[in-house]
């Protein structure tokens, strides 16, 4: 299953965030999207999920315009983890995680595997709104995992997670890709991107974008343009990737 953008342009008021993006999300890959605050990362994920209309161009799911698909059909194939927290949900953690199965109908699935993966088994009966920010984020990830979309779009999924759970999330993303699914992550840390992404999409917030491998894009000069002066100091190249010059 492929998700493709054709000449996709995104605007925010009078600004052009992304101009004429042509991108095909490949099964079996993890794509990382990097850019400064306000560069259009969240907007792009929302458009890829079919929840917003671009200024121009289109998004195709296996050749069909994604905005023309019934919402439940979209949700059976594309999953979106937005940045926003779930305010106003008064059920238990288990109730919340079960909602990931809603697009498919039928009996609720066995939650035990995902509750175990995200270390939520002991919290399953707790009201969601009594959890810490990191615990709620893990519940949101478990819900997405129960949905099991062919294409998972995660907007800053490392938010609120401690280092161990950040590593677990990124390992999960790689496992999903190895199983033939597609995972898209918006990230800020180039080191995580280098270790876990097959390709990267840089968004510069002024219409420009750049697509390539970590080895091609994660160089000090590009990071300084992407994030501003001094940002290359955050980059600690791994073996086999481009080294600072």
Read off the pLDDT of residues 12-55 as tens digits, 9 standing for 90 and up. Answer: 989 999 999 999 998 999 999 999 999 999 999 999 999 999 99
Rounded to the nearest 10°, the torsion over CA 184, 188, 191, 196 is: -10
Strand 30-34 relative to strand 182-187, pairing: parallel
- CA separation for the pair 118, 121 (Å, rounded): 8
Q: With contact defined as beta carbons under 8 Å apart, do 130 and 95 qualify? A: no
pLDDT higher at 1 or 98: 98
Percent of the chain having pLDDT more than 90?
84
Read off the pLDDT of residues 101-128 as tens digits, 9 standing for 90 and up. Answer: 999 998 888 999 999 999 999 999 999 9
Read off the pLDDT of residues 6-22 as tens digits, 9 standing for 90 and up. Answer: 999 999 989 999 999 99
Of the candidates 190, 152, 172, which has an alpha carbon nearest to the alpha carbon of residue 45? 152
Burial 74-103 (b: 16+ CB within 10 A, else e): bbbbbbbbbeeeeeebeebbbebbbebbeb
- CA separation for the pair 23, 14 (Å, rounded): 24
Of the candidates 220, 212, 219, 163, which has an alpha carbon nearest to the alpha carbon of residue 192? 163
pLDDT band at 241 (very low <50, low <70, confident <90, very high): low
Domains of the chain and any CATH numbers: 3-234 (3.40.50.300)
Q: With contact defined as beta carbons under 8 Å apart, do 222 and 216 qualify? A: no
Please write down the HEC assignment for all residues of the chain. Answer: CCEEEEEEEEEECCEEEEEEEEEEECCCCEEEEECCCCCCHHHHHHHHCCCCCCCEEEEEECCEEHHHCCHHHHHHHEEEECCCCCCCCCCEHHHHHHHHHHHHCCCCCCCHHHHHHCCCHHHCCCEHHHCCHHHHHHHHHHHHHHHCCCEEEECCCCCCCCHHHHHHHHHHHHHHHHCCCEEEEEECCHHHHHHHCCEEEEECCCECEEEECHHHHCCHHHHHHHHCCCHHHHCCCCCCCCCCC
pTM across the whole model:
0.94
**Distance (Å) of CA 24 to CA 48, 110, 173, 182:** 11, 33, 18, 11
Write out the two tokens for 98. 């079960």
Percent of the chain having pLDDT more than 70?
96
Query: Residue 59 — φ and ψ, nearest 5°?
Result: -115, 130
């Amino acid at each position: 299953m492929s998700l493709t953008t054709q000449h996709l342009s995104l605007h925010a008021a009078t600004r052009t965030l992304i101009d004429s993006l042509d991108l095909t999300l490949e099964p079996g890959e993890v794509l990382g999207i990097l850019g400064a605050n306000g560069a259009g990362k969240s907007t792009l994920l929302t458009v890829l999920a079919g929840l917003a209309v671009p200024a121009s161009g289109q998004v195709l799911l296996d050749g069909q315009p994604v905005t023309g698909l019934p919402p439940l059909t979209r949700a059976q194939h594309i999953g979106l983890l937005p940045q926003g927290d779930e305010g106003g949900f008064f059920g238990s953690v288990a109730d919340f995680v079960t909602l990931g199965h809603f697009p498919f109908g039928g009996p609720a699935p066995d939650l035990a595997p995902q509750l175990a993966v995200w270390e939520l088994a002991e919290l399953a009966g707790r009201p969601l709104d009594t959890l810490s920010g990191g615990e709620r984020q893990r519940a949101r990830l478990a819900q997405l995992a129960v949905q099991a979309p062919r294409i998972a779009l995660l907007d800053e999924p490392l938010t609120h997670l401690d280092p161990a759970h950040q590593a677990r999330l990124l390992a999960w993303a790689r496992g999903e890709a190895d199983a033939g699914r597609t995972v898209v992550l918006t990230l800020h840390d180039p080191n995580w991107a280098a270790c876990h992404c097959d390709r990267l999409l840089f968004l510069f917030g002024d219409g420009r974008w750049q697509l390539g491998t970590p080895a091609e894009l994660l160089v000090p000069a590009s990071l300084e343009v992407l994030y501003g002066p001094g940002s290359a100091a955050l980059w600690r190249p791994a073996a086999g990737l481009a080294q600072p010059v």
